Structure 1
Amino acid sequence: MKRYGMHFFILACLVLLVSLPTIGLVNYLDVAAKTSTTYKDTRVAGIDVSGMTKQEAVIRLDNAVKDFNNMPFTVAMVDGTALEVGKDVVTFNVDGTLDAITEPGDYPLAVAIDEERLTPYLDNQPVTMTMVTGPLTASASQLDSNVTLETVTEENEVVATMTISPTPAMRSALERMNGYEMNAGDIFSLKAFGEDFEALTTLGPSLYKLFAATPFKILERVPHETLPNGVELGYDVFVDAQSNFAVQNTEQTAYAIIVLNEGNTMTVQLLGKAFEAAYESRVEEVVSVPYQNVVRFSPSLPAGSSSVTQSGQAGESGKLYRVRITESGETLEMLGFDFYEPIPEIVTKSSVPLPPPEPVEPVIPTFPDELLEDDPFGDDVDNDGLYEFEEEPPVFETVPETSEEAVG
């Protein structure tokens, strides 16, 4: 038995000694055949490599790539502006391209786009990553520095827009939104773009108004207990640890959020395929509720005093409708009904009784020693305060004679 095992071991070694050189020779001949094979009627990225071996073609294409990388990409935007993108966002696989060639023809260079490096170039630009990567890849594979986005975005348009004056915290959240893509069925969650709930709450009403003019479904929206100052009735949004604002893309195509930085303001655009109908939002059935006056009493206030403890505010309610406009007319969809209770005006008065009035001595009228205006004697008063009288007419003792004679 031991002798049989020894014979088997010797036989296996002999087989290996014979087969290993043969396998090596076959591999060598295969590699030699590949390296010595020349390409016929073949062009890569527009460069003719006909008659070249693979090694020669690699050198030729590597030199072409080095020349190509000396200038940046020029991306022609839909709005007529141009954007320069560095060539560092692209890597080329020359070996892989040549290995895949099996017959004559025109071939593109195999390239890969580094989205992390591409992202800074797209900040504050009206494009998304998806809109750029395809045309950029196609141009790079042909060693073409000119990239045109028209063929990608010609079916897209701005379907909704808003402009705001953001705080620094709001600006940070908006910058995170730039380029966000919503595929069919995707959900936009406001809390995904920041942790500053106050900033998100301030930003919420504008985004609510933006999406209310689209067919997107409003999944979550919570209003305040009282309508904040500066917020339009019907568009109130409150965000905290338990509350959020979220919408869902119910269309069959993708849409993207584009944020344009315009100095002190920022414009948010919803970019995608035009909707089949026109949409707008409308607040109707607005009702104002007057507030009540409430009087309270407190012993802490001085007697007879009062103060307004709480200012009154009228309550109000309104319904927000999404209006779908077609040739046949309008259809309304109620998105929300907001009601804010009136806040009563509270006046606090002192409950301390007023002290009794102090006794008042009677006032005895006195008459001055001067002439009263209604003196019946007029000015017949001398300097000593005595009345002066006119002299009596003279009295005659005898009857004066007359020249007339008595009759009869």
Structure 2
Amino acid sequence: MNQQLIEMGQRAQEAANELAIVSTEQKNNALNQMADALLKASDQILAANQEDMDTATEMPDKFRDRLLLTKERIQQMADELRHVAMLQDPTTKIDRGWINKDGLQIIQQRVPLGVIGIIYEARPNVTSGASALTFKSGNAVILRGGKESLRTNEAVVKVLRQSLAAAGMPVDAIQLVKDTSHEVAQELMELNRYIDVIIPRGSQRLIQAVVKHATVPVIETGAGNCHLYVDKDADLQKATPIIINAKVQRPSVCNAAEKLLVHKDVAADYLPVIIAALRSHGVEVRGDERVRKNVSDVKPASAVDWDTEYNDLIMAVKVVDSMDEAIKHINLHGTHHSESIITENGARGREFQQRINSAVVYVNASTRFTDGGEFGFGAEIGISTQKLHARGPMGLDQLTTIKYEVTGNGQVRK
């Protein structure tokens, strides 16, 4: 085992133990200092980011957008830190308390998970957002970003650790693995003695590799093969801006819509309209046979398309006979991330929400809202598509577990 990783794990455990007795006020003060420091160091961070951008020449444009930092994006990172500082500290929460038949006082208390490892790709905003959430919830974090963003991550982590030191906090609450080799990533995933949970963020390929190879428990975050379904009772004027927003606003992210299902009763009138609108925004449309009967120059969709997360300006479109067919298709081909129905039929919208097996299900809204910041969490660690231990956007509460604190007065069990 890599000795450097072992030492990082040991330091992270020590930092997590120290954080257990740090007050909420102290944590909030440190987070605000981090936010101020990021803004003051923006020129250095942007210079490091430019070096990363200059060497990431083979990275597709859709992923270069994730890597790129601007003054505005650094401001957003700082705003996230301040927002997290304003949120309730989950470790101050008592879920419930009671006295049992033997007179024992039992309290169910929220406590940190401990040491969290985060493996992610070229998204420097994750570095600050994940650090903020883990720190506020009393956890230490070991970050392992992609090689394309190493210089940027180093610059951001340097600022965050300096802020921790200035605030009198354990600096090893935030650590960065600088070796981006696959071998070190694999060893990190096997650091059971020191890491309590691994959270992967990135492409489906990355996530599945971590799920397959990690011996540390994993919270699986979401690849996003997200769907929109236009019901026969949809307001089609309302539908178009929702679809365009879900597909076009930021196509490289996991909550962007990848598939569009249209009810047969509105297909003839609506398909030419929505396909023209998508194309006007640069979207390549692929369709099934029934779509192509309505708009003949649409590229044929293959069987592979229905399971593909494009992360690009591509959308596959299908005509369905009923909501039942739409739901079956989504539950079969989706990644259980985010889906939306567009309908004016309230009962049908509610049924769609109940029957779809995804973390977030919308009625008459864009899937782009599946985000910790939009949900009021300040930032997010990721969007979990599994059912244990968390689901959907993961904020502070999802980075805690429970402990039972029991107080007696000499009781012994009979």
Q: TM over 0.5, yes or no?
A: no
Which structure's relative contact order is higher, taking Cα pairs within 8 Å and 6+ residues apart?
Answer: 2
Give the shorter-chain TM-score range: under 0.3
Between Structure 1 and Structure 2, which shows a larger proportion of strand residues?
1
Task: Using structure 1 for the length normalisation, give the TM-score.
Answer: 0.25
Q: Which has the higher helix share?
A: 2
